[in-house]
Chain A
Amino acid sequence: MKKNEKKDGDDLIEKLIAAEEDKSLSKFRAGDFQARLKKRILEEEDEKRSVSFFRRISKSAWGAAAVLLAAGMIAFLAVPRRVPEDNASKTLQNVLSQMPGFRMLEGQTSAVVNGLTISPTPLEASLAAVLSESEREQASRKPATTSSPLDEGYNPPPLDLQKKFEILIIEKSVERFLALYSQIFKEG
């Protein structure tokens, strides 16, 4: 009795499954499974290929860090830095023109400030000498180009006011640096 029930039950299950399979398999065979699979595989391959280089390397922390570092370096090299010397030479000229002794050396025989006659200090005199020398050299530079510097001995190229100021600034910086460090070394 039980065996029959079991057999009937199994038969029913098999019958149901077979009915479903017959219907679905005929559809499956009619549909082009392989063509659709091929399309899907190719889509998957395309998708993989379309992943950009940056997306791939940015997946790793080191890759992201390298990209940031490279971008930083490019930005540092590409952005032009401010040149403070442009304004500094004008400022120096303004300061010099305020000095009464310097004004006198430029054209006046004497300067009178608050009723007192002021003569140029040694610094003002040397600055004026340097400036007048550079102006003279600039004026004589054009004809001098024809003569060889080897014939007349070595003549350094003439410097304009801005160049001189740059050199002055650099020398001052080095001097201050050395002074500071010599103090530290002494203390050490």
Chain B
Amino acid sequence: MMVEDVGTEKLAIMTSASHQNTEKAEPKTSGREAVVFGDLLAQQEVVFRICLGFSRNYAEAQDLAQDVYLKAYLSLGALENPAVSKEWLFRIAKNTCLDHQKKMRLRRVLLLKWGAAVDEPDSPEAAPDLKKKLQRLKSEVRRLPKKLRAVFILREYGHLAYDEIAAALGIKEGTVMSRLNRARTAVRRRLKERSHEKE
């Protein structure tokens, strides 16, 4: 039900966008692209969950999800094989989020260097226990190496299958499993260490 609704509404978006494009005699989207974009929109919750895994809060994740779809819309013409559109979208999501994290890290470093206050979205002290734990988890995930982080988030937040992760990242399934195992072990260990430190 959800997928069909999303597809129909997406077609409406694409139709209006295509109509405007034809007015300037430069149609950017074809019928085939509209259908592909409809399929991509059906994945919006998965994309949002992936963005949530990479970001620090809901608002950031929502902005990132929009960025992902905008990028996908603008580069639909570059997608040669629509059969792999889903993997292509997840790759865009992963790259967009990693770029965003990079920018945020740079911003944080510069703000610290200039002595400005670094904005934290939520204060762990004021938050309830679950929220504190969640923030610790997100912090530990952010500390993972890029490759491990991508696999961990695509699996734990995106709930993607191993073959989907492998296709999205362009690696083998065995590599996905080993990276996921390393990532989980690292997060688990660090969470345990932090809880011991607190005690």
Contacts and interface: CB of A to CB of B under 8 A. Distances in A.
Q: Do A and B come from one complex?
A: yes
Interface of A: 6, 9-10, 12-14, 16-17, 19-21, 23-25, 27-29, 31, 33-34, 36-38, 40-42, 44-45, 49
29 contacts: A9-B187, A10-B188, A13-B187, A13-B188, A13-B191, A16-B133, A16-B137, A17-B53, A17-B156, A20-B52, A21-B49, A23-B58, A27-B58, A28-B62, A29-B45, A33-B65, A34-B9, A34-B41, A37-B70, A38-B13, A40-B66, A40-B70, A41-B70, A44-B70, A44-B73, A45-B21, A45-B28, A49-B20, A49-B24
A84 B137 CA distance: 88
B188 A6 contact: yes
B117 interface: no
Nearest to A8: B188
Interface in B24-54: 24, 28, 41, 44-45, 48-49, 52-53
A44 B74 contact: yes
A41 B14 CA distance: 9
B185 to A, nearest CB: 8
B73 A41 contact: yes
Contacts of B74: 44
Contacts, number: 84
A20 B136 CA distance: 13
Interface of B: 6, 9-10, 13, 16-17, 20-21, 24, 28, 41, 44-45, 48-49, 52-53, 58, 61-62, 65-66, 69-70, 73-74, 130, 133-134, 137, 156-157, 184, 187-188, 191-192
Secondary structure of the B side of the interface?
helix
A44 B188 CA distance: 43
A13 B156 contact: yes
A134 to B, nearest CB: 64
Nearest first, the 3 A-B pairs at minimum CB distance are A9-B188, A38-B13, A24-B58
Contacts of B16: 38, 42
A17 B137 contact: yes
Contacts of A45: 17, 20-21, 28
B133 to A, nearest CB: 6
A29 to B, nearest CB: 8
A19 B20 contact: no
Given A16-B133, A24-B52, A33 B156 contact: no
B44 A33 contact: yes
Contacts of B53: 17
A16 B13 contact: no
A17 to B, nearest CB: 5
Nearest to A10: B184
Contacts of B17: 41-42, 45
A31 B20 CA distance: 26
B14 to A, nearest CB: 9
